[in-house]
Amino acid sequence: MNVLEKTGVRFEDELGLDLLEENGCSVDHDNMIVKFPPSIVEKCIRKAPSSFRLRARESDDDIILGGEVVYFTNSCGKQTVDLNTFEPQKPMKSDYIDFIKILDALPNCHLLSCYPYYGFKGVPSVMRIPEGVAQKIRYSTKPQYTCYSKDCEIFNIKMIQKTGGESLSCLTSSPPLTWDRNAVMQARRNINAGFPLDIWDGCSYGATGPATFAGSVITSNAEILSMLVFIQLLDSGHRCKVADFSFPLNMRSGSPGFGQIGTSINNAIFNQVWRRYGLPIGNHTPGYSSGKSLDFQVGSEKAINGIIAALSGANVIEIQGSISSEQTAHPVQAILDDDIAGMIGRFIEGEKISDETMATDIINNIGPIPGNYLNTNHTRKYWKTEQFVSKTADRLTYSEWLKKGKKGILDNAKKRKSKMLDQHEVSKPLTEEEVEAIETILEEAGEYYYERGLISDEEWEVYEGILESFKI
């Protein structure tokens, strides 16, 4: 509150500045700086709902954000990797689709992030986000995040409205203490569509935010609260979630310190503050490591940061898919990560304490040796719910492992990937009319950017072939 009142936040949008000024904020139009009286901020926090439903294309996949529930979403990468060399490769369309199919099939991935890969071969850069939205709609019924760039939210919204459900639409600050016009327009357009908004920070501790975790949370919260005020003044009671996606700065290379325990300290402070404010919370840093292969570093960093996020109060945790930072991702990694999500989920469920689970009658009945519990109804009833049964981890005895060819967790995950792609089908396929509607909207988006010189003649020729293949 102190930062919002004394220093303020930069809003690079004149209509936004006017709205904030009309509602009691102090606005310096020349420098686009808005200062917020604490009373206005507190009032707008109270307007935002503490929980809300996010509608999926298939109602069985709806989720309720907020409260004590934890969901998991996938992390992403710019490119895929060769699993033999771990060198990055540009994904093909088939790679992109396969990744979405795997995410749709994974039991602990509850909503899809903005994309698994940032586009695929043949797609112009300005079309990468809309193409990703289209493929997620076609190959999954789970709810999804959408992001924004160069007005693409216009087309994202249209595609989702044509096929049902809604998206959780991201707004990302430009730290320190700034909201650019693109974010403000994303907010306006999604409010008009009735879609909930997800307000993200994004600082690097020591670069675009203070080096201390406490200080970085203060700047992040000032940014998020300022956007929350803007949203609630535009539409009182509008559904909002908040998200922490900030990292320590690697002081040697200048890159984000993916996977460091400092992100968890920051997440935990952030979560406790926002639990007090009462809005749904997301932590998106646990899904990213600085490792380069499917190895101990990647798994341990995701597991540690993921469980801390869950225990400190996050409602959505990003985990499945990314290998190295935001550079690479792979569906095999997502399959491995889904077990991490499952273990975290089982741990936070805890244990129901009742006469039946305490089992004193059975204990007294079985008594000491030679009694045992293996053949009891109690064991048959409870073992599958009490234990978390991994889908990929090596749980063989040593002798079994030797006899079965010494297969490891990566072998199991690769085998599971092939099986999932062979057997999984989306529960609610698009109708022919819906497929045609999406194709029409993608063509409209392509023409929009082509006319503005953002797609070259050569890119357009290649992309027209991709558009045609959407029908197949």
CATH label of the domain that carries residue 246: 3.20.20.480
Closest CA to 149 of 115, 122, 103, 195: 115
Can you tell me the mean pLDDT for 83-112?
Answer: 98
Q: Within 10 Å of residue 134's Cβ, how many Cβ atoms?
A: 24
Both 405 and 437 in a single domain?
no
Q: Using only C-alpha atoms, what is the Rg of the chain?
A: 24
Residue 17 lies in a domain: no
221: which residues sit within 8 A by CB, 6+ positions away?
201, 270, 273, 274
Both 337 and 361 in a single domain?
no
Both 159 and 251 in a single domain?
yes
Q: Tell whether the torsion through CA atoms of 383, 384, 386 and 392 is positive or negative.
A: positive
Residue 18 lies in a domain: no
Last residue of a domain, one of 327, 349, 371: 349
Say if strands 9-11 and 33-35 run parallel, antiparallel, or are unpaired.
antiparallel
Both 310 and 397 in a single domain?
no
Q: Tell whether the torsion through CA atoms of 287, 288, 292 and 298 is positive or negative.
A: negative
Report pLDDT digits (tens) over 256-276: 999 999 999 999 999 999 999
Residue 124 lies in a domain: yes
Both 92 and 190 in a single domain?
yes
Total count of domains within the chain = 3
> In 86-143, which ranges are E strands?
88-89
Q: Which two tokens stand for residue 378?
A: 């109690």
215: which residues sit within 8 A by CB, 6+ positions away?
209
Both 395 and 297 in a single domain?
no
| pLDDT value, residue 61 | 98
Both 246 and 395 in a single domain?
no
| pLDDT value, residue 400 | 96
Residue 11 lies in a domain: no
Residue 235 lies in a domain: yes
| pLDDT value, residue 470 | 64
| pLDDT value, residue 468 | 76
Report pLDDT digits (tens) over 184-233: 999 999 999 999 999 999 999 999 999 999 999 999 999 999 999 999 99
Both 345 and 441 in a single domain?
no
Residue 26 lies in a domain: no
Last residue of a domain, one of 349, 369, 401: 349
DSSP string across 358-393: HTHHHHHHH-STT--STTSHHHHHHHHHHS---SSS
Last residue of a domain, one of 326, 349, 372: 349
Both 253 and 367 in a single domain?
no
| pLDDT value, residue 115 | 97
Distance CA 150, CA 44 (A): 29
Can you tell me the mean pLDDT for 144-157?
Answer: 98
Both 121 and 192 in a single domain?
yes
Q: Helices (DSSP H) in 287-328: which residue ranges?
A: 296-312
Both 158 and 298 in a single domain?
yes
Residue 313 lies in a domain: yes
Residue 85 lies in a domain: yes
Please report, rounded to a whole number, the percentage of residues in the chain having pLDDT higher than 70: 99
Q: Which domain holds residue 371?
A: 355-423
Q: What is the DSSP-derived secondary structure letter of residue 281?
A: E
Both 129 and 188 in a single domain?
yes
Residue 471 has pLDDT above 80, yes or no: no
Distance CA 303, CA 261 (A): 11
